[in-house]
């Protein structure tokens, strides 16, 4: 009986060996961020921002004028940053990413320009 060809053997290996992917340094595998749900009205987002900013260790100073995450006229982007700051600081202490239904979890890093969204394992 002839031996299987090398091509057959290689094809067989490709089918049974799990795929291995190499992730770039800028990709975040399994990291979770908390951001505003785009369907939430601005007044609800603002109420949630106000509550989160009343909690300790939430970086609300970063959304103030002349700060890296300040976005004039964008309650949603301000909520993104504040919700994530709260979530990262409180997720291991019983905190969550809910904000009365105004927030959702994403694995895509929402950082942009000079505004860096914190991730704490």
pLDDT surpasses 90 at 116 = yes
Distance CA(85)–CA(79), nearest Å, equals 10
Spacing of C-alpha 94 from chain mean position: 18
Residue 30's pLDDT is 87
3-class DSSP assignment, residue 19: coil
pLDDT surpasses 90 at 79 = yes
3-class DSSP assignment, residue 59: coil
Distance CA(21)–CA(53), nearest Å, equals 40
Give the mean pLDDT of 96-111: 98
Distance CA(14)–CA(115), nearest Å, equals 42
Q: State the average pLDDT for the chain.
A: 85
Least reliable range by pLDDT among 12-21, 76-85, 102-111: 12-21
Token output for 119: 């991730």
Q: Do the beta carbons of residue 82 and residue 5 sit within 8 Å? A: no
Per the DSSP assignment, residues forming a β-bridge with 104 are 35
Q: In the chain, what are the domain boundaries?
A: 25-106
pLDDT surpasses 90 at 3 = no
């Amino acid at each position: 009986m002839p031996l299987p060809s090398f091509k057959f053997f290689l094809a067989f290996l490709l089918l049974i060996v799990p795929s291995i992917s190499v992730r770039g340094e800028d990709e975040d595998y399994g990291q979770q961020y908390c951001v505003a749900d785009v369907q939430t009205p601005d007044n609800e987002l603002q109420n949630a921002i106000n509550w989160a900013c009343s909690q300790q260790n939430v970086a609300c100073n970063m959304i103030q004028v002349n700060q890296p995450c300040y976005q004039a006229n964008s309650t949603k982007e301000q909520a993104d940053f504040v919700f994530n700051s709260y979530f990262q600081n409180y997720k291991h202490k019983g905190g969550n990413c809910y904000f009365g239904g105004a927030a959702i979890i994403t694995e895509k890093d929402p950082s942009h320009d000079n505004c860096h969204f914190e991730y704490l394992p």
